[in-house]
Chains A and B, each alone.
Chain A
Amino acid sequence: NAGVMQNPRHLVRRRGQEARLRCSPMKGHSHVYWYRQLPEEGLKFMVYLQKENIIDESGMPKERFSAEFPKEGPSILRIQQVVRGDSAAYFCASSPLAGSGKNIQYFGAGTRLSVL
Chain B
Amino acid sequence: EDQVTQSPEALRLQEGESSSLNCSYTVSGLRGLFWYRQDPGKGPEFLFTLYSAGEEKEKERLKATLTKKESFLHITAPKPEDSATYLCAVQQAAGNKLTFGGGTRVLVKP
Q: Which residues of A contact B (CB under 8 A)?
A: 4, 6, 31, 33, 35, 41-45, 48, 55-56, 58-59, 91, 95, 98-99, 101, 103-110
18 contacts across the A-B interface (CB closer than 8 A): A41-B102, A42-B100, A44-B100, A45-B97, A48-B96, A48-B97, A58-B97, A59-B97, A98-B96, A99-B96, A101-B32, A103-B31, A103-B32, A105-B98, A107-B45, A107-B46, A110-B42, A110-B43
Known: A43-B100, A55-B96, A103-B91. A108 touches B31 (CB 8 A): no
Smallest CB separation, A111 vs chain B (Å): 10
Closest to A98 in B: B96
Interface of B is mostly: strand
A33 touches B101 (CB 8 A): no
CB under 8 Å from chain A, chain B span 30-49: 31-32, 34, 36, 42-46, 49
CB under 8 Å from chain A, chain B span 61-110: 87, 89, 91, 95-103
Contacts of B98 in A (CB 8 A): 33, 35, 43, 45, 105
B49 touches A33 (CB 8 A): no
